[in-house]
Structure 1
Amino acid sequence: MSALTKAKSFKKSKAGTYLSIGTTAFGALGVAKQIKAARSEHDTLRLIDAAITGAAIVTGIALLVRELKRLGDDDVLLG
């Protein structure tokens, strides 16, 4: 099995999904800093950008949680 095949199968595993959720949530820290800076500078455009980025992070986490639930449904030991 090649390294690329292993990486693709890890991405679709529960552990890979948890890792993706963690890294996506970590991006929320950057958005929080961006919002704080935009508010202190009264920069509306940067605040809008941060809000849109935050919405993308929330959507990404929701998609990953849905994938995690789908992987859980396939688990023979749970059902």
Structure 2
Amino acid sequence: MSALTKAKGFKKSKTGTYLSIGSTAFGAFGVIKQARKARFEHDTLRLIDAVVSAAAIATGVALLLRELKRIGDDDVLLG
């Protein structure tokens, strides 16, 4: 099994999905910082950008959670 095949398999594993959720959630800290700065500076355009970015992060986490649930349903040891 090549390293590339292993890497692709890791992305679809439970561990890989948890890692993706963590890294996506970590991006939320940057968005929160951006939103606070925009509110402090009364910069509406940056605030809108922060809100859209937050929505993208929430959607990404929701998709990853759905994938995690699908992986859990396919696990024969759990069923």
Same fold (TM over 0.5): yes
Structure 1: tracts of 5 or more residues without a match: none
Structure 1: distance between partners of 2:51 and 2:71: 30
Taking structure 1 as the reference length, what is the TM-score of the superposition? Answer: 0.98
Q: Normalising by structure 2, report the TM-score.
A: 0.98
Percent identity between matched residues is 78
Name the structure 2 match of 1:57: 57
SS in 1 for 2:8: helix
Q: Deviations over 1:2-60 (max 9, x none)?
A: 11111100000000000000000000000000000000000000000000000000000
Residue 9 of structure 1 corresponds to which residue in structure 2? 9
Work out the number of aligned pairs and report it: 79
1:27 pairs with 2:27: yes
Write the distance in 2 (CA, Å) between the matches of 1:31 and 1:2: 37
Give the root-mean-square deviation of aligned CA atoms.
0.4
Find the aligned partners of 2:28 and 2:75 in 1 and give their Cα distance: 30
> What is the identity, as a one-letter code, of the residue corresponding to 2:56?
A
Structure 1 residue ranges, 4+ long, deviating more than 4 angstroms after superposition: none
